Amino acid sequence: MGGTFDPIHLGHLRAAESAWEGLGLDLVAFVPSAAPPHRTGPMALPADRLTMVRLAIAGHPRFDAWDTELKRPGPSYTVDTVAALVAERPADSFVLIVGSDTWPEILTWREPERLLSLVTVGIVERPGRSLGEPLRAPFPSARGVIRVEGPTLAISATEIRECARRGASLRYLVPEAVAEFIARRRLYA
């Protein structure tokens, strides 16, 4: 599960839990992006975003934080990350977890056909962003597209950053340890 995680929030965690449980995954790896090519760069430093992910998932036996993209220079292209992970772990199969707001954009990503030939895509419905029916892979070479069932939370990192900027409470938006880290580091202020 990739993203800027700027900051990671309860919506991300709920989506990951639904994917882990609903798809029977062995592990959900959170992969913070260093330099997303489709949007402006994250506000928090990469090390801070990785720390927030680690704080957020602490105690979950099937969640892990991978710094794969943070170690690589240049834009964080998902296809490059996935290809590297598949090469490093040839015995594993991968599911790329994305939100229903991201799924329509995948065809604009770098090498979408190659990306979808390497992974199955698990799509989590975001509130107000229905997937419709049926779900179909856009290329014959694609490994597959799966709907992730389960509850979702309408929370956005943009709103959380605005709350932090105003000094408003982040309670019930991010895990407590993440809220404390944001306050201590004065992130987004």
Whether residue 169 is contained in a domain is answered as: no
The reported pTM is 0.92
Secondary structure (H, E, C), 138-153: CCCCCCCEEEECCCCC
Beta strands in 84-185 (DSSP E): 95-99, 120-124, 145-148
Q: How many domains does the chain have?
A: 1
- Beta sheet of 145-148, edge-to-edge order: 95-99, 120-124, 145-148
Domain containing residue 64: CATH number? 3.40.50.620
pLDDT of residue 82: 96
Q: For every one of its 189 residues, what pLDDT tens digit does the chain have, with 9 covering 90 and above?
A: 999 999 999 999 999 999 999 999 999 999 999 888 887 778 999 999 999 999 999 999 999 999 999 998 889 999 999 999 999 999 999 999 999 888 889 999 999 999 999 999 999 987 766 666 667 777 888 889 999 998 889 999 999 999 999 999 999 999 999 999 999 999 999
Residue 76 is assigned to a structural domain of this protein: yes
Look at residue 35 in the predicted model and tell me its pLDDT. Answer: 86
Does a structural domain hold residue 163? no
Evaluate whether residue 160 is within a structural domain.
no
Does residue 145 fall inside a structural domain? yes
Domain range for residue 115? Answer: 2-154
184 in any annotated domain: no
Cα-to-chain-centroid distance, residue 137: 20
Query: Tokens in use for 30?
Result: 């959170």
Residue 172 lies in a domain: no
Distance CA 42, CA 155 (A): 17
With CA atoms as reference, report the closest residue to 51 among 164, 175, 157, 173. 175
Assigned domain for 136 exists: yes
